[in-house]
Amino acid sequence: MRKVKVTNQETLDLEIARLKMRTRQLENDLGKRVDFFRDNYKKMALNAVIPGSARHSGVLNIAANVAKMAWGSGKFKNFATGALMTALEFIGVQLGINIFNKVANNRRKKKKAAEANPEAE
């Protein structure tokens, strides 16, 4: 970028025109980047979840097609739904137990602290 010393109306107009051209150029560059992102976001998202998967997209396409076919099957869908619900219930119970234990331990600690230091009340 060159810096122009604006001394009169003519140089100001030239600088405004130069900056407008620069703005259009930057907008075009940004547009190209957005188009690239739009064309490649699926691969980038998959690569973020499974590193290196974008290089093996053919294998993943086959796996995705097999998964779609299996999901179309009623038996597999019922099995997958049941397994997912069982896993979610297990996680929910574990979280509930952990939260209960945390609260109970905090109450025990406060009770012990109160018994050890009766003047603090």
Structure tokens at 2: 């060159």
Rounded-to-integer distance, Cα 50 and Cα 43, Å: 10
Q: pTM to 2 decimals?
A: 0.37
Q: Write down the domain spans for the chain.
A: 1-54, 74-121
Per-residue pLDDT of the chain (121 residues; tens, 9 = 90+): 567 788 899 999 999 999 999 999 999 999 999 888 888 877 777 677 766 666 656 666 676 777 777 767 777 778 878 888 888 888 888 888 888 888 888 888 888 888 887 775 5
**Residues 6 or more apart whose Cβ sits within 8 Å of residue 47:** 53, 54
- In angstroms, rounded to a whole number, what is the distance separating the alpha carbons of residues 26 and 32? 10
